[in-house]
Amino acid sequence: MVPGDLPPGSYLLTDVAVDVSGLPAADNAVGDQDGDGNDDVAFPEVAQFPDGAPELNPAATVVYSGPDLLAPGPGGRLDERPVPLARYQGSSVAVAVLDPAGPPTVITGVRTPDGIDQLTLHGDPQVHLRAEGLLEEYTGGPGTITVTQRGTTRFVVLRSDTRGGSSLAIWNLDDPCSRYASGPLPPPPDTGSTTTTTTTTGPATTTGPATAGSTTGTEGSETTTPAVPLPGTATFTG
């Protein structure tokens, strides 16, 4: 791990980086979570450190302070785990700026043994989302989480992909009890790309199940509705 304030130049990694090889190579930048002015990093939880290969707990994510990870200094090695800033259930991670006055909101997802996908937005207050009937990712996890904005309305989207197809669940954060009638959404702004439609059925709420969406299109066309990412939005797949 290399400090972000390293001046431009040519360096040997062993001279400027901190060896964090005891942590899994699946880190997600989550912004400044503790208000110290430095970015922090989320990792899948490890059950063993640093002897041998880390054993991952795919149902949990831990957030470490960036300065704590870099504490050994250039050329040093992180020999023990820092005290985490937070620990969340879920293996898929996304982060988005939902509240400009607060830290970026960490979003985690987990798929239950009975096939229900559950997302948690770790803000104040927490928001819990559920979706039933989505395809199961090859990883066994809940798929890819994104946060998008259309006009002034913010949406959380969960997409699961397999070799046999894709499925979507979409929640409206600003009007959780709203629903779309069966049929295409309003056409997106003309961006010069191929016109496509996305069809969803059933309600999407913060308290009940969200009905899986379906996509339609013609052969050779991409079947998705473009959306504008929120400022500061990043997407990661666990």
Mark whether 145 and 55 lie in a shared domain: no
Q: Is the model's pLDDT at 106 over the cut of 50?
A: yes
Q: Is the model's pLDDT at 147 over the cut of 80?
A: yes
CB atoms within 10 A of CB 228: 12
Mark whether 3 and 112 lie in a shared domain: no
Q: Give the DSSP per-residue string, 206-220.
A: SSSEEEPBEEE--TT
Last residue of a domain, one of 89, 112, 139: 89
Query: What domain range includes position 161?
Result: 92-238
* Single pTM value for the model: 0.67
* 112, burial (CB in 10 Å: exposed 0-12, middle 13-18, buried 19+): exposed
Tokens of 207: 């308290």
Per DSSP bridges, beta strands 153-162 and 197-199 are unpaired
Confidence of residue 227 (pLDDT cuts 50, 70, 90): very low
Confidence of residue 71 (pLDDT cuts 50, 70, 90): very high
Confidence of residue 12 (pLDDT cuts 50, 70, 90): very high
- Name the average pLDDT for the chain: 75
Residues 68 and 39: beta-carbon distance below 8 Å: no
How much is the pLDDT for 36? 93
How far, CA to CA in Å, does 218 sit from each of 69, 82, 182, 188, 192? 49, 51, 19, 17, 17
Confidence of residue 218 (pLDDT cuts 50, 70, 90): very low
How much is the pLDDT for 165? 84
Of residues 215 and 10, more confidence is placed in 10
Last residue of a domain, one of 63, 89, 115: 89
Total domains in the fold of the chain: 2
> How far is residue 50 CA from its own chain's centroid?
26
The whole-angstrom separation of Cα 210 and Cα 163 is 23
Query: What DSSP designation does 180 have?
Result: -
